[in-house]
A and B are shown apart, each in its own frame.
Chain A
Amino acid sequence: MAEENKSIRFIITRQDDPDGKPYEEEFDIPYRENMNVISALMEIRRNPVNAKGEKTTPVFWEMGCLEEVCGACSMVINGKPQQSCTALVDKLEQPIKLEPMTTFPVVRDLAVDRSRMFDSLKKVKAWVPIDGTYDLGPGPRMAESRRQWAYELSKCMTCGVCLEACPNVNDRNDFIGPAPLSQVRLFNAHPTGEMHKAERMDAVLGEGGLQDCGNSQNCVKVCPKGIPLTTSIAAVNREATIHSFKSFFGSDQHA
């Protein structure tokens, strides 16, 4: 019964408020079977005592669905950005290092503000406009073959992991990152969304848009949902080539 006394060492990068200085604090968590990182954080919340035996404030983090579809609990675990709900303690090397994703402003401890991602989705018009003053009726049908790959793109949960890994998303660069670019491809592929393709393309070629991708291809490697982000970016690149030709030389879709 040696397992009963086993504990796991966590090294957590903490920060008391958005402008605070980050510092590290260590915790020893009693081991239980099948723990994920969140259950360990819950244990700290239950008993906020650090490895030195001092009472401290509970570590703050964000979570939602607990099944890797909401993207809220993303953090850097042992150097790899990922969701803490699906990060299983048994599969992690110890001590386990938890850090907030540095691409985003830290709210407190491990919680970050991902607002910029939602702003980017608005910027590139990542939606299908269906509202009218009267019933517009059913939209055009979508080919099954296209629906299948489009579904893969729709798995994006704006978790921010791809932005965290992208060398071009940083303080000196206003690149919106891979996630919204893939959403542009998704909504351009939708039979009703396609009707607003030109508008969406104009938006995605704006400041900080598509052109800021430098093809390091880290995004596709780190995406927890396995979304073919670099394929999406190249596909939007092709669309941009065609779009800018039409836009410059003239076409019926452009005023």
Chain B
Amino acid sequence: MADQINREYTLRRLHSLLGVIPIGLFLMQHLVINHFSTYSEEAFNTAAGIVGNLPLVIVLEFAVIYIPILFHGIYGVYIAFVTEMNLGRYGWFRNWMFMLQRITGIITLIFIGWHVWETRLANAIYGTEVNFDMMANILSSPFMFWFYVVGVLAAVFHFANGLWSFFVTWGLTITPKSQRIMTIIVFFIFVIFSYLGLASLVAFAS
């Protein structure tokens, strides 16, 4: 009865899985590498150079980043679209998280689209070098700086809260108690990775 497993179910589970593996893992890696910018320009350029020169980097990029994010993003817009906000009547914590998950998802999608265009695609099309100077240049505009602040916070929130849902979706946290503890854990994940991201932005901009 393998063919009876529904398409929608498979897509939703795939959406949940890809959000954590590989996209969530990539996000964490990305923010850790970025944090080298707080040490020095050279430290960042070295760290980013290692990641940028991994073997078969173009294959890695497509398999681990572009294809999963495209699927997760496009299917995610659909998931957000089939929801009807009802915070006015039911303003509970989880309902807020539910709505914020969808709102930050849309913000993150826009942000990532712009971010990839400005960095990776600029490199591929115009040969602009991806390094500390490139980011310092972009973030010298106050508008772009705040755009990046919002984008990074949205992405990290979406990942942290998505990780919470991942644990429910795959049936790992069933009891209310385990779900509450997971809320605390993902809160710290949100704080730590927001700090890494924001500290890097400040380092690039100053």
Contact = CB atoms under 8 A, between A and B. Distances in A.
Contact of A247 (B1, B13, B79, B99): B1
B88 to A, nearest CB: 9
A206 B82 contact: no
A218 to B, nearest CB: 5
Given A79-B89, A231-B174, A237-B171, A207 B8 contact: yes
Contact of B94 (A216, A236, A244, A250): A216
Contacts of B99: 167, 216
Given A170-B82, A172-B81, A211-B12, A218 B95 contact: yes
B126 interface: no
Interface string B165-189: 1001111111110010000000000
Contact of B6 (A172, A209, A214, A255): A209
B98 interface: yes
Contacts of B84: 167-168, 170, 172-173
B171 A234 contact: yes
B53 interface: no
A215 interface: yes
B5 A247 contact: yes
B171 A241 contact: yes
B85 interface: yes
Given A167-B98, A231-B175, A238-B170, A248 B2 contact: yes
Given A167-B86, A235-B171, A240-B171, A214 B98 contact: yes
SS class, residues of chain B in contact with chain A: helix
Nearest to B90: A218
Contact of A211 (B13, B86, B89, B94): B13
A193 to B, nearest CB: 18
Contacts of B85: 167
Interface in B1-59: 1-2, 4-6, 8-9, 12-13
B143 interface: no
Interface string A219-255: 0011000001011011111111110100110100011
A49 B173 CA distance: 54
Contacts of A90: none
Contacts of B82: 168, 170, 172-173, 212
B83 interface: yes
A198 B98 CA distance: 30
A248 B9 CA distance: 13
A211 B15 CA distance: 11
Given A198-B1, A205-B9, A255-B1, A239 B171 contact: yes
Nearest to B7: A207
A7 B133 CA distance: 74
A215 B6 contact: no
* A interface, size bucket: 35 or more
Nearest to B89: A79
A165 interface: yes
A238 B86 contact: no
A215 B6 CA distance: 20
A209 B9 CA distance: 8
Contacts of A221: 90, 92
A215 B94 contact: yes
Contacts of A206: 6, 9
Given A165-B90, A211-B12, A254 B175 contact: no
Interface of B: 1-2, 4-6, 8-9, 12-13, 79, 81-86, 89-90, 92, 94-95, 97-99, 101, 164-165, 168-176, 179
* For the complex of A and B, 3 pairs with smallest distance between CB atoms: A238-B171, A216-B98, A211-B12
22 contacts: A167-B83, A168-B83, A170-B83, A172-B82, A173-B84, A202-B1, A210-B9, A211-B12, A211-B13, A212-B8, A216-B97, A216-B98, A217-B98, A222-B90, A228-B176, A231-B175, A233-B168, A238-B171, A238-B172, A238-B174, A242-B171, A247-B5
